């Protein structure tokens, strides 16, 4: 969920930039090292970034009828890990602001923090936890995308609540109000995005399981078992 341009006061914009940029810089540092080792990865990262952008610009079938866009960062985190996803996300967010007028430039720091850092980290942790417990791959992808979305939306609500605390009840009351208002679109949206992500993985496993192996997303045994199950 994007915070629109102009909504956050100046000092909050600066603060969220200050929190996001070090993480993105670390991601860029890691990405640079990986690209130096294996130059083939730059074009693949670029097309993946473009894929995340296009995925997030597609309108999702939404239950509430509102126009809703997926974040796509959950999938990014599963495929590339959270650090690289943070770099891809900030670039995608700049494109979204300038191409589609979603989000903005002063709020870029805040949006990067919620959608490019917290969401992917949560998604990645959920995915890893599921894989360690031998949960079905598709269920793991579903849960990772779901929680990545939900945490993005929780963090956005916290950001809005911190900037505009309620007169009675302070930040907490304000947080609950933002959470409640945006729940109407964000809760079903996350479930739909989770389902779509899981189905997306099913197609990838069936058609190009080797891509997932190359990215070290799942072990060969799991991919093989899933391919046999669907064959």
Partner 1 sequence: MHDLLDDYAHSSALTKTSPRLKLLLGLGAMLLCVSSATPIAPIFIAVTMSLITIGIAKTPGRFYFTLLLIPLSFALLSSGVVAFMHGGGDQLFAVNLFGFLLEIREDGANLALLLIARTFGGMCSLFFIALTTPMMEIFSVLKSLGLPDFLVDLSMLMYRYIFVFIDQAALIHNAQVMRLGDAGIKNTLKSHAILSGVLFLRAWEQGERLIVAMDARCYDGRLSLVEPAARAKPRAIFAVMIYIIIVSAIAFLTKDIRLL
Q: How far is the CB of 193 from partner 1 (least distance, A)?
A: 10
Restricted to residues 150-209, the positions that interact with partner 1 (CB under 8 A) are: 160, 164-169, 173-174, 177-178, 181-182, 192, 195-196, 199-204, 207-208
CA angle 193, 144, 53 (to 5 degrees): 50
The Cα–Cα gap between 119 and 73 comes to 7
Q: How far is the CB of 164 from partner 1 (least distance, A)?
A: 5
The Cα–Cα gap between 12 and 4 comes to 13
Q: Which of 21, 28, 125, 135 binds partner 1 (CB under 8 A)?
A: 28
Q: Which of 95, 124, 151, 153 binds partner 1 (CB under 8 A)?
A: 95
Q: How far is the CB of 6 from partner 1 (least distance, A)?
A: 2
By CB under 8 A, residue 85 contacts partner 1:
no
For residues 167 and 229, which CB has a smaller minimum distance to partner 1 in the complex? 167
By CB under 8 A, residue 32 contacts partner 1:
yes
By CB under 8 A, residue 19 contacts partner 1:
no
CA distances (Å), 96 to each of 119, 131, 196, in order? 17, 32, 21
The Cα–Cα gap between 35 and 12 comes to 34
Distance of CA 17 to the CA centre of its chain: 18
Q: Which of 23, 77, 87, 145 binds partner 1 (CB under 8 A)?
A: 87
Quick one: which of 133, 167, 157, 1 has its CA closest to 73?
A: 1
Cα Rg of the chain (Å, integer): 18
Q: Which of 23, 31, 115, 222 binds partner 1 (CB under 8 A)?
A: 31
């Amino acid at each position: 969920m994007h915070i629109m341009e102009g909504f956050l006061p100046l000092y909050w914009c600066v603060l969220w930039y200050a929190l996001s940029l070090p993480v993105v810089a670390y991601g860029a540092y890691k990405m640079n090292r990986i690209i130096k080792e294996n130059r083939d990865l730059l074009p693949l990262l670029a097309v993946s970034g473009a894929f995340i952008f296009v995925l997030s610009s597609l309108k999702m079938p939404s239950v509430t009828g509102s126009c809703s866009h997926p974040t796509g960062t959950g999938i990014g985190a599963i495929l590339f890990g959270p650090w690289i996803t943070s770099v891809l996300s900030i670039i995608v967010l700049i494109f979204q602001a300038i191409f589609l007028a979603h989000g903005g430039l002063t709020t870029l720091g805040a949006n990067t923090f919620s959608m490019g850092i917290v969401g992917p980290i949560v998604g990645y942790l959920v995915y890893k936890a599921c894989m360690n417990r031998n949960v079905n791959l598709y269920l793991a992808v579903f849960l990772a995308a779901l929680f990545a979305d939900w945490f993005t939306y929780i963090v956005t609500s916290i950001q809005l609540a911190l900037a505009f605390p309620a007169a009675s009840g302070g930040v907490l009351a304000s947080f609950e109000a933002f959470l409640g208002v945006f729940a109407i679109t964000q809760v079903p949206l996350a479930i739909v995005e989770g389902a779509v992500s899981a189905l997306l993985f099913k197609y990838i496993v069936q058609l190009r399981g080797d891509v997932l192996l190359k990215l070290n997303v799942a072990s060969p045994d799991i991919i093989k078992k899933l391919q046999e199950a669907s064959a």
